[in-house]
């Protein structure tokens, strides 16, 4: 007996149709930018701002400083950096320098040398060109505004930094890579890395060509006396790279990029960072410095802990711990990579990005320990919330505020370099993470308190709120003691760095105000009956004072702590 044939499911027909469509579509021709392989150049080492980094990191920072974005025209930063360096004429007149401050944009309405349409474009788009900034009347206007408006001075400094960065890239007379990619020549040198243009004097043929054109090369740094052949090959590779770029010769560009990256390592292999370190840095950049991956796991843990505590679902607790631990491991890896890249024996806590990242890490560790001791979901929810919020904040801050908060890896100012820096900042940022945990617990307690009837809440609810209050009090007491210790240690550091232990700097003042809020929160329980309510309210208020002190002071007030 022949069985009836089953009808073909509709999804099979849909799949066959889509396959037929995509197999008959003509292949899209890859552009020059998509065909070339810049990976050897991305991992090439650069010395910038006293710190070793890859060309990938250097390019991301430079393009961001100019445009406010890591990409221009959809191209990666290294491609844009090279294109700008090799074809400066195509960029100096483009409106790509970002003006963040809107009132500053409006100041250009006072210029008589541009028409009304251009004035409105600047106000609306907030971009100008390098050629525009080079005009004498524009320079005069900016100097005048800077001397008369404190609020616009910071914005003008940002524009001038972008202008300087673009000037360095668009070296019209040279066209070389505008970065210190040449390692120190040897023990007789100064130990500094140099830009290719500084090495021209070490190659007789290039020096002779300059003299024929009436130009004199820059003085060659010491230590390269026996590197003439390598430097000559470096310029040959750079020249081939530029020719391939001009002619859009993919194979020549790829070969030249590989040759240039190899030659840089041969100049001084002992001084060159390892390939592993450079490759990890490029991957670290591509993975958003592990902020978003870590935040995703923290968020899942937060939701699970919340359900465990609020909905009394203990079966979710093991899963919440698993996601919490994975998020913490990713978070720890991000800090470890940054620590490894910058070097040194102390953790990276020298700017806003690093201090927020390390603060949240401390809070996650403390919260996890407390949660393992008291597995009720409260501490776990608070700690994962702090971790998630911090990682999302440091990732999103540049896009929201158009202000870098130290995502680039660098060194702290020389006068501030002291082991007291790390002790003070570690203590203070640790207390901030505990304040963040207290904020969530305080907000959670207040919401639950009022949703369940406030002072008239049923008796069955009171044990839950009492337990909640004890968890909140634990976090706030730890924050109180750690912040107080951090302020005292900061006074010792300030005395060493600035010659005085206390100077009523805005950040010092608001740190003291924050500590006083928690001083009241800890002691108000002695004199009031509504102990839990006052603890929750002060925990909520204290968080916002702390946040203004930590972040807001840097944006709105000027002081000695503005670097962090």
Give 516-537 as a 3 state SS string. HHHHHHHHHHHHCCCHHHHHHH
Q: At what angle do helices 228-247 and 77-86 cross, to 10 degrees?
A: 90
What's the confidence (pLDDT) of residue 139? 92
Please tell me the distance from the alpha carbon of residue 313 to that of residue 165, in angstroms, as a whole number.
56
**The Cα angle at residue 484 between residues 483 and 485, in degrees rounded to 5:** 90
Q: What is the pTM of this model?
A: 0.77
Task: Give the CA distances from residue 267 to residues 69, 81, 186, 231, in Å, rounded to whole numbers and listed in that order.
Answer: 34, 23, 9, 8
307 has pLDDT over 80: yes
State the average pLDDT over residues 110-134.
92
Q: Examine the pLDDT at 422 and tell me if it is beyond 80.
A: no
Q: Quick one: tokens of 231?
A: 């430097």
Question: Which of 9-13, 114-118, 318-322 has the lowest average pLDDT?
Answer: 9-13
- Using the predicted structure, report yes or no on whether residue 188 has a pLDDT greater than 80: no
* Residue scoring higher pLDDT (38 or 558): 38
Distance of CA 62 to the CA centre of its chain: 13
- Three-state secondary structure call for residue 461: coil
**The pairing of beta strand 51-54 with beta strand 97-98:** unpaired
Strand partners, 53: 46
Mean pLDDT calculated for residue range 396-425: 65
Calpha distance 234→240 (Å, rounded): 10
Per the model's pLDDT, the better-predicted residue between 230 and 173 turns out to be: 230
- Token pair in block for residue 187: 């023990």
Q: What is the pLDDT of residue 22?
A: 47
SS (H, E, C) 190-205: CCCCECHHHHHHHCHH
Whether 563 shows a pLDDT value over 50: the answer reads no
- Helix or strand (DSSP H, E) at 54: strand 51-54
Cα dihedral sign for 212, 217, 219, 225? negative
- Dump the DSSP string for 349-363: -SSHHHHHHHHHHHH
- Average pLDDT in the chain: 84
Residues 431 and 425: their CA atoms lie apart, in Å, by 10
Q: What is the pLDDT of residues 28-58, one digit of tens each?
A: 567 899 999 999 999 999 998 778 899 999 9
Other C-beta atoms closer than 10 Å to the C-beta of 460 total: 8
Structure token pair of residue 541: 């208020």
State the average pLDDT over residues 317-339: 94
Measured CA to CA, the distance from residue 33 to residue 79 in angstroms comes to: 7
Q: Which two tokens stand for residue 362?
A: 């401390």
Residue 436 has which token pair?
A: 């963040």
Q: Locate tokens 């990619």: which residue?
A: 181
Mean pLDDT throughout 390-412? 73
Which residues touch 105 (CB under 8 Å, ≥6 apart)? 99, 122, 123, 126
State yes or no: pLDDT of 497 exceeds 60. Answer: yes
Q: Which residue has the higher pLDDT, 518 or 322?
A: 322
**Which two tokens mark 198?**
């500084």
Q: Are 90 and 119 in contact (CB under 8 A)?
A: no
> Rounded distance, CA 277 to CA 256, Å?
23
pLDDT at 189 over 60: no
Residue 46 contacts by C-beta under 8 Å, 6 or more apart in sequence?
52, 53, 54, 55, 57, 58, 179, 180, 181, 193
SS3 409: coil
How many C-beta atoms lie closer than 10 Å to residue 188's C-beta?
12
Q: What is the pLDDT of residues 346-386, one digit of tens each?
A: 778 777 888 888 889 998 999 999 999 888 888 999 999 99
Most confident of 230-244, 482-496, 508-522, 547-561: 230-244
Q: What are phi and psi of 75, to 5 degrees?
A: -95, 150
Asked if the model's pLDDT at residue 191 lies above 70, the reply is: yes
Cα 471 to Cα 458: distance, rounded to the nearest angstrom: 21
Q: Kindly state the average pLDDT of the residues 261-276.
A: 92
């Amino acid at each position: 007996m022949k069985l009836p044939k089953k009808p073909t499911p509709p999804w099979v027909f849909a799949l066959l149709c889509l396959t037929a469509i995509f197999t008959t579509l003509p292949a899209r021709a890859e552009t020059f930018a998509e065909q070339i392989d810049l990976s050897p150049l991305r991992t090439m080492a650069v010395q910038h701002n006293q710190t070793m980094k890859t060309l990938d990191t250097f390019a991301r920072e430079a393009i961001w400083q100019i445009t406010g974005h890591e990409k221009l025209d959809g191209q990666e930063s290294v491609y844009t950096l090279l294109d700008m360096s090799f074809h400066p004429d195509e960029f100096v007149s483009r409106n790509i320098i970002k003006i963040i401050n809107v009132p500053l944009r409006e100041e250009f309405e006072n210029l008589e040398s541009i028409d009304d349409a251009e004035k409105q474009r600047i106000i609306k788009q907030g971009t100008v060109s390098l050629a525009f900034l080079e005009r004498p009347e524009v320079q005069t206007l900016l100097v005048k505004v800077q001397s008369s408006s404190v609020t616009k001075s910071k914005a003008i400094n940002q524009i001038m930094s972008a202008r300087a960065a673009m000037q360095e890239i668009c070296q019209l007379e040279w066209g070389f890579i505008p970065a210190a990619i040449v390692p120190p020549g040897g023990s007789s040198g100064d130990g500094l890395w140099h830009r290719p243009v500084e090495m021209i004097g070490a190659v007789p043929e290039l020096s002779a060509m300059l003299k024929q054109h009436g130009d004199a090369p820059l003085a060659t740094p010491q230590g390269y006396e026996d590197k003439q052949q390598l430097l000559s090959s470096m310029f040959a590779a750079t020249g081939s790279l530029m020719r391939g770029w001009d002619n859009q010769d993919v194979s020549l560009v790829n070969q030249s990029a590989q040759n240039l990256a190899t030659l840089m390592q041969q100049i001084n292999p002992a001084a060159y960072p390892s390939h592993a370190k450079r490759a990890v840095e490029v991957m670290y950049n591509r993975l958003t410095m592990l902020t978003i991956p870590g935040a995703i796991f923290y968020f899942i843990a937060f939701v699970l802990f919340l359900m465990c505590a609020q909905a009394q679902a203990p079966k979710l607790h093991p899963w919440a711990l698993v996601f919490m631990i994975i998020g913490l491991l990713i978070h720890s890896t991000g800090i470890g990579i940054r620590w490894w890249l910058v070097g040194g024996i102390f953790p990276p806590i020298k700017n806003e990005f690093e201090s927020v990242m390390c603060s949240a890490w401390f809070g996650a560790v403390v919260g996890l320990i407390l949660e393992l001791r008291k597995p009720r979901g409260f501490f776990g929810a608070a700690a994962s919330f702090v971790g998630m919020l911090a990682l999302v904040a440091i990732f999103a801050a540049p896009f929201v505020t158009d202000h870098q908060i130290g995502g680039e890896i660098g060194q702290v100012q020389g006068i501030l370099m002291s082991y007291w820096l790390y002790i003070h900042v570690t203590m203070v940022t640790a207390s901030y993470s505990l304040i963040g945990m207290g904020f969530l617990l305080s907000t959670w307690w207040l919401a639950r308190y009022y949703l369940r009837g406030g002072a008239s809440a049923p008796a069955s609810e009171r044990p839950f709120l009492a337990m909640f209050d004890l968890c909140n009090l634990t976090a706030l007491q730890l924050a109180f003691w750690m912040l107080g210790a951090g302020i005292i240690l900061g006074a010792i550091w300030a005395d060493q760095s600035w010659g005085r232990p206390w100077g009523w700097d805005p950040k010092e003042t608001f740190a003291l105000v924050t500590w006083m809020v928690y001083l009241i929160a800890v002691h108000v329980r002695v004199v009031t009956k509504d102990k839990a309510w006052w603890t929750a309210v002060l925990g909520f208020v204290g968080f916002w004072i702390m946040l203004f002190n930590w972040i807001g002071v840097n944006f709105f007030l000027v002081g000695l702590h503005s670097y962090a």
